[in-house]
């Protein structure tokens, strides 16, 4: 399956899927090539298995395979040791087709405002893999296209992080990547408290 306008190519073999995509295309177009990349991913039974992200403008290549570790230019990488949202940096973004209703944005703000810092870089693949390398502590994005996070989820998992993935219609998903199980549990607690307040 090929989508030339997005630089997306997917090949399905039984229950496995290989994906190739270019992410951060608007960054590249606007002259911020360091915030764009090429990613390749292998998923099996809707689980991330292998990921490669080439940040071509900086010469950085991130790789990861479930059970075999994660690497940056051949050097091992791991997620940070952060366990509390109030001391962590979260990366996020607003994808093209996101719901911008007041209710949706309010719910989103409630989820990220408990983190110490929020960063938006314009490339889901890079923001995700930055969790694997320990550059940020978490990544969360709603209604993001699956292929934009397919590689980084595999690399974060290989780097010891936690992957939270909820499929949505039209190849979209809610993707959460966390450095540690403790940070994921703290985030889940915050979401639960906010849900109770909204009732």
Q: What pLDDT sits at residue 155?
A: 97
Q: Which among 89, 16, 84 is positioned nearest to 50, based on CA atoms?
A: 16
Tens of pLDDT along the chain (199 residues)? 434 434 444 555 556 677 778 899 899 999 999 999 999 999 888 888 999 999 999 999 999 998 999 999 999 999 999 999 999 999 999 887 777 888 888 888 888 889 999 999 999 999 999 999 999 999 999 888 888 899 999 999 999 999 998 888 888 888 999 999 999 999 999 888 876 666 5
Helical packing angle, 102-112 and 181-198, nearest 10°: 140
Q: What pLDDT sits at residue 197?
A: 64
- Domain coordinates of the chain in residue numbers? 2-198
Q: Which residues, at least 6 apart from 138, have a Cβ–Cβ distance to it below 8 Å?
A: 82, 85, 88, 89, 90, 91, 115, 131, 176, 177, 178, 179, 183, 187
Fold of 2-198: D-Maltodextrin-Binding Protein; domain 2 (3.40.190)
Q: What pLDDT sits at residue 146?
A: 85
| pTM value > 0.85 | yes
Q: What pLDDT sits at residue 141?
A: 92
In the DSSP assignment, the letter for residue 117 is: E
**Exposed e or buried b for every residue in 132-160, given b needs 16+ CB within 10 A?**
bbbbbbbbbbbbbbbbbbbbbbbbbbbbb
Q: What pLDDT sits at residue 53?
A: 97
């Amino acid at each position: 399956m090929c989508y030339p306008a997005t630089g997306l190519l997917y090949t399905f073999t039984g229950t496995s899927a290989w994906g190739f995509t270019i992410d951060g295309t608007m960054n590249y177009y606007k002259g911020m090539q360091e915030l764009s990349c090429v990613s390749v991913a292998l998923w099996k039974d809707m689980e991330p298995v292998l990921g490669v992200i080439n940040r071509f403008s900086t010469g950085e290549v991130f790789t990861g395979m479930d059970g075999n570790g994660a690497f940056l230019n051949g050097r091992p990488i791991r997620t940070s040791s952060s366990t509390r949202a109030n001391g962590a940096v979260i990366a996020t973004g607003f994808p093209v087709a996101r719901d911008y209703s007041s209710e949706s944005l309010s719910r989103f703000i409630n989820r990220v405002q408990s983190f110490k810092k929020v960063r938006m870089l314009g490339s889901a693949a890079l923001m995700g893999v930055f969790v694997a390398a320990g550059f940020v502590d978490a990544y969360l994005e709603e209604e993001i296209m699956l292929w934009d996070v397919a590689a980084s989820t595999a690399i974060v998992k290989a780097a010891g992080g936690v992957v939270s993935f909820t499929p949505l219609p039209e190849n979209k998903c809610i993707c959460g990547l966390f450095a540690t199980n403790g940070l994921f549990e703290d985030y889940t607690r915050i979401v639960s408290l906010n849900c109770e307040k909204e009732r």
